[in-house]
Amino acid sequence: MSDRDAGGAQPSISNTVVNSTADHLIQVGVLHGDLNLTLRAPEPEDPQAAAERRLALSLLGQWRAEADAWRMARPAPLPVRWTPSARVPSTGQSLWADTGSSLADTFLGLPHRRLVVLGSGGSGKTVLAVLLTLDLLARKLGIASRQGHGTEPRNPAQPDTPVPLLLSLESWDTRRLSLAAWLEERLRLDHPGLPFVDGEHPAGLLVRRRRVLPVLDGLDELPAPRRAEVLDALAEGLGTDGDAVLVSRTDAYEALSASGHALENATVIESLPLRPRDVARYLDQVARHTGRADAWAPLVRALTDEPSGPLAQALSSPLMVWLVRQTYAAAPADPRELVDGRFPDRRSVETHLLDRIVPAAFPRLPPDDGRLHPPRPWDPQRARVWLAFLARQLSRRGESELAWWRLSQAPLPRLLALPALIAAGIVVSLLIDLVSAGYAADSLLGEMSVRSTVLGGVVYATVARWAAEHYFGHRLAQPRRTANPLLFIAALRAAERHSRVGPLARLAVLNGVPAVAVLLLALYAFGGHDAVLVLLAVGMLLPAVMMVVVAAPADALDAATPTELLRGERSALLATVTLVAPLIGLGTAAFYELSGGDGLWPGFIAWLGASAALFLVSPSSRWLLAKATLATTGRVPWSLMTFLEDARTAGLLQRSGGTYRFRNRRLQDHLAGRSPSAVDEGRPPQPAPAAARAQTSGGRGRPQSADGTDRRSGETVLSTRQEPSIFRGMHVERTADRFLVRGRSRRVPMAHWPVIASLTVMTAVRFSVTGQWREATGWVSLLFFPVLGILLCLLGLAMPSRRWELELTRQAVRGRFGRLHAHYAWTDVTQIAVRRVSLHGLQTPTYSLQVRLRDGAPVPGRRLRLGGGWYHVLALGLTDDVDPQLAAALADFAQERWRPAGTG
């Protein structure tokens, strides 16, 4: 551009754009001169690379939010030191001096990209996993990690870096899914909006090509019997060249490794206690960052002057340092109270910090009327009560993932579920009576016409719901995420992509059922004019297909969050009431109209019945019942989801996909009122004193020596009388080459209760909504299925006791209960474990000893097959706790085939 043209009036401008990929070019002002424009079409991005990048961006946003909530790198990462473990075999060398090093460089430089991160409770294991995840994501995308490793963007990106997927092992059911299937399922559920590759969700492709790096946390939080099973399934899924990061407490993994269950070719690192001078330097930085250096000075001096004092011992754990920072971050909290002598030992310091964290997270805020959306003022004492209740519920179930749809499993909502269902149905029936009084008076059948119409709506809605449940494989209590019904073509595609049935079933549902509906309508038009054909087509078949379409998972970019899952479930319920139920009403109205009557009122009543049925059995209704009952009794706040999100922002909770977890298991246990173990406190576990146990032969009074040897036969006869045992009252004998338990037992059938419960719920909906609650016969029908379930249990209990026998030898394992006899040679057995019994895909409440056979082994009879390649040996009852005698015998006779209970 020259200053002026020849006339001196206008500037001379010439714009040249070459090889641009811009979609739009905007010229502001008046152009004098030439515009040379050469556009180049952008090079097409590889579909797999696009999917990986979208996944990495989604995960980066998710875990950056978690890191910000935890203040992991403000003002700098905590100086945690890591070293190769001296207690577990490792292939690694000296690793990070602290978490400020380049985690991605170190991990990617390992000879085998398998890392096991160990430490005590609160030692920073999960923080390291999150920082490593963020570092790998930043490297892949070519951006700054923002975790204290520098501010320069990494350019260019390194697309060969795998995408780290941080998951909790608690959500992996190894008995149902392999590692690859589980990772694929989590990608599909948590990231349904990834760009498709060859018309399919890229989850399967990314997992098969090992473009996803599993970062697995919470091995020690699993029930003890599951740890070895999960670790073996992980090793099997990774094969010889799979990469993974595993996080666990040291004692749990050490016990697994000692029993032969460990991750091969893995670098095992263990956290070291924080050094007092490092903690003092870190807290001094925090003090200067917050502008309260004077208040923190005595604490910093105490750490430097008394490196072996109770305060320094307590603050050797990153969890406790975080608690100190959170508790005394702002006035009027004064950190000088930690050094005034009121806390004489480490335990008192830790207890004080754990007690103060909730008031620090939810301080009392003065009212601020000048702000449009002021922070919600949660009362600290009530917040402590709410969090304690949630922590107790998780501890009672042995879980760490807090899911809003599982809140209905608390005792109070479960107790009130059936009465609330009946009460809600009665209210609906009264509403139906109110709006249909005129129709009932004009009809020849009176109230019977209303009841039959409502019953039809309930039945057709049940059929539609049943179709969606089987098509997607959703469990009854799990939330749904709905595709936008206004984008019908996209909804159809989502329904096909996210199905859990085979291609033939998908073709039959999405194409065959509508074709059958059109055929029925054609038969009506050109055939016998039977109105039932229209009712079947419009009132049953089309609602079933519509239910499948509107309940398909939504194609959203971001990973699922608890709030998004709740919003999706509400939209699913709204779609069923506004799209599925009206079709049922339309079909009913057409049936009555074509039969010569008035179809308006029957259609409206059928819509009410269908809507009530779809609502009363939905996850939304259970969520509302759970929240209402628990909030009324003061166990949770009415705005529960807002409270949980505020607790996450305050650092008390973390968000993983669609669930929350407490910041640390130690915090969960403290709120639940559970005493910490020695390992939780960072102290080495002390061996339990040896207890002298009286050895008997199951109550038969056989004389024994002090070492448990029968004086007459020389057999070693074992029975632990101090603990409940399935062997109580049975003959138990043990020799060097044989373990035998025999006796008699009665069978109490329990497998029918899941079916009984489902039928009872549907009967309760029909009974209450249709108005049968006014009649004695209606109550009889409601009680029929529960009474039938009880009678089946009593019938099994009344049957004569049958022979119960288990024998282990060096050659085989044999089980017998009545006429059911199982016998397996050890040469044919690859695994033996105590597992839940699954019949035809239905999980029962009972457990049994089961085996998995090698390829080519003789196939047992049909009665012994349990699915998933497992076969029945012997029923053990309603618990998976293994008797110590049986565990010891299986470890001896089955050796590495045994999945030991209590490992770790």
CATH of region 731-747+802-897, choose from 3.40.50.11750, 2.30.29.30, 2.40.37.10, 1.10.287.110: 2.30.29.30
pLDDT for the residue 169: 86
Q: Specify whether the CB–CB gap between 217 and 247 falls below 8 A.
A: yes
Which residue type is seen at 408? S
Predicted confidence at residue 843, as pLDDT, reads 63
pLDDT in the model for residue 387: 93
How far is residue 581's CA from residue 546's CA, in Å, rounded to a whole number? 10
Biggest alpha carbon distance in the chain? Answer: 127
DSSP states along 506-532: HHIIIIIHHHHHHHHHHHHHHS---HH
Position 712 scores a pLDDT of 36
Burial of 470 (0-12, 13-18, 19+ CB in 10 A): middle
CA neighbor of 59 nearest in space, from 130, 159, 153: 130
Specify the pTM: 0.71
CA distances in angstroms from 29 to 10, 25, 263, 644, 776, listed in the order given: 12, 13, 67, 53, 85
CATH placement of domain 47-271: 3.40.50
Q: Is 411 exposed, middle or buried (0-12, 13-18, 19+ CB in 10 A)?
A: exposed
Using CA atoms of 232, 237, 242, 245 in order, give the dihedral in degrees to the nearest 10: -50
Give the whole-angstrom CA distance, residue 461 versus residue 576: 9
Q: Which of 405, 342, 849 is CA-nearest to residue 619?
A: 405
**Average pLDDT of adjacent 10-residue blocks, the chain of 904 residues:** 49 55 61 59 70 85 77 70 78 49 76 87 83 87 60 60 88 81 84 75 86 89 78 87 89 84 86 88 83 83 87 87 83 83 87 88 63 63 92 85 88 90 88 73 63 85 85 71 68 71 78 86 81 87 87 59 84 86 90 81 87 89 92 92 88 82 86 62 41 33 36 38 55 88 78 80 85 83 88 84 88 88 91 77 73 85 79 81 82 81 40
pLDDT at 522: 87
Residue 637 φ/ψ, nearest 5 degrees: -80, 160
257 vs 383: CA distance, rounded Å: 41
Omega before residue 724 within 30° of 0, cis: no
Q: What confidence score (pLDDT) does residue 648 get? A: 86
Domain 380-401+635-671: state its class: mainly alpha
What confidence score (pLDDT) does residue 63 get? 81
Closest CA to 128 of 56, 208, 60, 73: 73
Radius of gyration in angstroms for the set of CA atoms belonging to the chain, rounded to a whole number: 33
Q: In 600-618, which positions are buried (b, 16+ CB within 10 angstroms) versus exposed (e)? A: ebbbbbbbbbbbbbbbbbb
Question: What single-letter amino acid sits at 774?
Answer: R
| Count, residues in the chain | 904
pLDDT at 497: 67
Tokens of 560: 């699922």
Q: Please give the Cα distance from 25 to 50 (Å, whole number).
A: 26
**What DSSP letter does each residue of 417-433 carry, written as one string?**
HHHHHHHHHHHHHHHHH
Q: Which two tokens stand for residue 223?
A: 């029930």
Q: Where are the domains of the chain?
A: 1-43, 47-271, 276-361, 380-401+635-671, 413-627, 731-747+802-897
The helix/strand/coil state of 693 is: coil
CA-to-CA distance for 20 and 340, rounded, in angstroms?
68
120, 320 Cβ separation under 8 angstroms: no
